[in-house]
A and B are shown apart, each in its own frame.
Chain A
Amino acid sequence: GAVVSQHPSWVICKSGTSVKIECRSLDFQATTMFWYRQFPKQSLMLMATSNEGSKATYEQGVEKDKFLINHASLTLSTLTVTSAHPEDSSFYICSATHDSANYGYTFGSGTRLTVV
């Protein structure tokens, strides 16, 4: 079945540094990828939608200059949290699909980001 690998699983970084999170579709080509953020004991909030070869579409309230998304190939999307601050600490999850019209999404296992 469709597998999505997300790396790293967890990361701790210092305030002011940048962190890159990778989302890879291992056995299919993902035309569309989504990035979500999940606060403790809360639901997933969609941050942005990325389509291969085009700019990401950000949800209202999400700073695109802070959360840089690159979907350079059909198997890889990256989320870079720039100049991270403690309030950026969260659980980030990606999902990928090759069949967006039928909502055929597969989720990654998530990345726990802690900014100290």
Chain B
Amino acid sequence: AQSVTQPDIHITVSEGASLELRCNYSYGATPYLFWYVQSPGQGLQLLLKYFSGDTLVQGIKGFEAEFKRSQSSFNLRKPSVHWSDAAEYFCAVGATGGFKTIFGAGTRLFVKA
């Protein structure tokens, strides 16, 4: 069965520092992978997605993610974090059978001044 693991429940970074959020997936074939961001009390916004092709994917708000098949990972990165990036980040995989999306547990990002 498909699954997504986000090892870090929360991460704190200083404003202006670089960021990497980890995501590992379990899937039998080439997965469809996503990163979403959720602000408190809000819905989810898609940051980026990977279906095929170039393994380095560019997203909105300066985020990028790299698909590494050998490590079953799809880590999210940003070179310089802004205070407005503080939010909950979810990694997700597109599941077969009904085109459902399976979400990881999420990583809460805190940004300190």
Contact = CB atoms under 8 A, between A and B. Distances in A.
Interface residues of A, number: 25
A30 to B, nearest CB: 13
B28 interface: no
- Judged by DSSP, the binding face of A is strand
Contacts, number: 50
A43 B105 contact: yes
B34 interface: yes
Contact of A43 (B41, B43, B90): B90
A69 interface: no
Interface in A40-73: 41-44, 46, 49, 57
Among all A-B residue pairs, the 9 with the closest Cβ atoms: A107-B43, A100-B99, A109-B43, A107-B44, A43-B103, A43-B105, A103-B94, A44-B103, A110-B43
